[in-house]
Amino acid sequence: MSSRTVFLAKLIGLYALVFGISMLANRQGTLTAVSSLLRDPGLVLVSGVFALGVGLAMVLAHNAWSGGALTIVVTLIGWLSTFKGLVLLFLSSADALAGYVQAIQYERLYYLYAAVTLILGAYLTYAGFAASRSINGRAA
């Protein structure tokens, strides 16, 4: 397993864990923030640019489809971030934004989104640090 996979697993895992915990700790604040963001086409555009940039960086640096589950999950996250960025970039009209909000059903499925974020974060964090110990243990 590459050191890049291990680094990205730890980075994304810790990020997802912290964000998932904050989602559970502050449901109303998160719902208000996401609702406000999705009502502002400028913020949606900026979010799309950011997601696309992060996704493309991950895809260009880590586009590996073999090497175990951790490697594939990290690669999938890069591709999903790229796709999300593209979708957000093209949601410039009020109708498109309304359709997106309706499609994701964020408020109704809030705890599912939080659970997936936490589970993914826990898996990536655990697997990333376990792989790091394994790599460091062999090198010693």
DSSP state of 48: H
Written as six digits, the tokens of 93 are: 């009209």
- For residues 96-102, give the mean pLDDT: 79
C-alpha span between 5 and 13 (Å, rounded):
12
Domain borders along the chain are: 3-139
Question: Please, what is the average pLDDT of the chain?
Answer: 91
Per-residue model confidence as pLDDT tens digits over 22-42:
999 999 999 999 888 888 888
C-alpha span between 140 and 134 (Å, rounded):
10
Rounded to two decimals, the pTM is: 0.87
- For residues 64-88, give the mean pLDDT: 95
Written as six digits, the tokens of 42 are: 């400028």
- As a whole number of Å, the CA-based R_g of the chain is 17
- For residues 53-71, give the mean pLDDT: 95
Helix, strand, or coil (residue 7)? helix
Task: Give Cα separations from 61 to 3, 79, 108, 129, 136 (angstroms).
Answer: 12, 12, 35, 20, 22
Q: Does residue 98 carry a pLDDT above 80?
A: no
Q: Does residue 140 carry a pLDDT above 60?
A: no
